[in-house]
Amino acid sequence: MKACLCMSLDKSAELEIVDLPDPEPGPNEVVVRVEACALNFFDTLIIRAKYQYKPDLPFSPSAECAGVVESIGADVTGFQPGDRVMAYICWGAAREKVRVPENLLVPIPDDVSFDIAAGLSVTYGTTLHAFKDRGDLKPGETVAVLGASGGVGQAAVEIATIMGANVIACASSQEKLEFAKRLGASHTVDYSTQPLKDSLKDLTNGKGIDVVYDPVGGDLAEQALRATAWEGRFLVIGFAAGEIPKIPLNLPLLKSCDIRGVFWGAAVDRDPDGHRANMRQLLDWVKDGKLKPHIHATYPLEQISDALEQIAARKVLGKVIVHP
C-alpha cells in the first residue's frame, strides 16, 4: 500500500510517499481501506514536533479518515467487511489502508459521502463537544466565534446556528467574514480594523456575549473575555495565533463568568460513548441537510505537502481532503 510518511521533524518536515506492507488486524482491530482522509492546522505542527502529541518517526499525518472495512480481527463484533466507517486516530490516516481499534469506528450512513465524513471528527467533533458538553449553549444565546473562517471556526458558525444561537463571526478580512455569513452568521466583526471588545458590546446592546468560542488566543482572547456577559462562558479551543494569553483573573470574578477548557482529544479517550453519540448527531445533521460542511479542496496523496502548505499559509476556507 502507499503511505505518506514524515521522515524528519526539522524545519523541512520531510514527507515521502512510500510502499509499505498491507496491515493485518489484531484482536479487536479493523483494517480500513481509506477512501478519504482530512488535514487540519495541527497537522502542520505535528510534522514539526510543535504539537502536544509527538509520535515516533516515521509516521503518517492526518488524524481522521473515512473508508470501507476490509478485514476484521478476532473478537470484533460490531463491523463486517464492506461496512462504511469513519474514525479519529490522532495521526496515521494518510495512507491507503489503516489499522484501527474497533471502539474508534463510527458507521457512516449510505447517503453521507466519504469526503464529508472524513472531515467531521476533528473540527465538528471539537465544536459540538465545546457547545453541548462544555458550553451549555442554549437556543437564543449569542455566540462570538473568533477565527470564524478557519476549520473549527467554520464548524462553530454552522453548529451554533443549528443549535439556535445568534452568531457573531469574527475574523481578519472581509473575504473571510463573507464566507462566515454564508455559513449562517448573523453579524460580523473584522478585528483587523475594528476594536473587538467594543464591537461585540455594541452588537449586543451592551449586554455582552453569552458564549465565546476562541481557537485563536493571543491578544484577542482578553478582548473577547472583556466582552462576555454576566455568567458568560469563554471556551478555550486553541492558540492559532501562536501565543498563549495570560488572562487577569479579576475579569471572570467581576463578570461571574467561566473560562472553560475544551480538550476534545482527551474527551474522546475519557468518554468514547459520548464521542460516538456526538458523531451520530453530526452525521444525522448532514443526512438531514442541516449541516453542509464546505470542502476547500481535495488533493491526491502525492500532493499532501502542497495541501499542508496551503493550510499553514492560512489560505484555506473549510476542510482539506486527501485521497490516498
pLDDT of 149: 84
> What's the mean pLDDT in 108-124?
96
pLDDT of 14: 80
pLDDT of 69: 98
Distance between CA atoms of residues 91 and 59, nearest Å: 8
- Residue 92 pLDDT greater than 90, yes or no: yes
- Residue 34 pLDDT greater than 80, yes or no: yes
All three cell numbers of 79: 463491523
Spatial CA neighbour of 64 closest among 85, 89, 33, 95 = 89
Residue located via cell numbers 481557537? 215
Q: Please write the tens of the pLDDT for every residue from 157-185.
A: 999 999 999 999 999 999 999 999 999 99
- Residue 295 pLDDT greater than 80, yes or no: yes
- Residue 64 pLDDT greater than 90, yes or no: yes
Residue 49 banded pLDDT, cuts 50, 70, 90: confident
Residue 234 phi/psi, 5° resolution? -105, 115
- Residue 12 pLDDT greater than 70, yes or no: no
Query: pTM score, two decimals?
Result: 0.92
Distance between CA atoms of residues 124 and 284, nearest Å: 13
User: What share of the chain in percent tops pLDDT 90?
Assistant: 90
Q: Which of 11-20, 191-200, 251-260 has the lowest mean pLDDT?
A: 11-20
Q: Which of 38-52, 64-78, 104-118 has the lowest mean pLDDT?
A: 38-52
Residue 11 banded pLDDT, cuts 50, 70, 90: low
Rounded to the nearest integer, the mean pLDDT of the chain is 95
What is each CA distance from 270 to 58, 79, 87, 152, 260, in whole angstroms? 27, 22, 16, 21, 17
User: What share of the chain in percent tops pLDDT 70?
Assistant: 99
pLDDT of 44: 92
pLDDT of 242: 85
Contact 96, 5 (CB under 8 A): no
- Residue 304 pLDDT greater than 80, yes or no: yes
The answer to whether the Cα torsion of 30, 35, 37, 38 is positive or negative is negative
Residue 265 half-sphere exposure toward CB, CA atoms < 13 A: 11
Q: Please write the tens of the pLDDT for every residue from 195-243.
A: 999 999 999 999 999 999 999 999 999 999 999 999 999 999 999 888 9
Cβ-in-10-Å burial (0-12, 13-18, 19+) of 21 comes to exposed
Distance between CA atoms of residues 168 and 157, nearest Å: 8
Residue 13 banded pLDDT, cuts 50, 70, 90: low
Q: Please write the tens of the pLDDT for every residue from 125-139.
A: 999 999 999 999 999
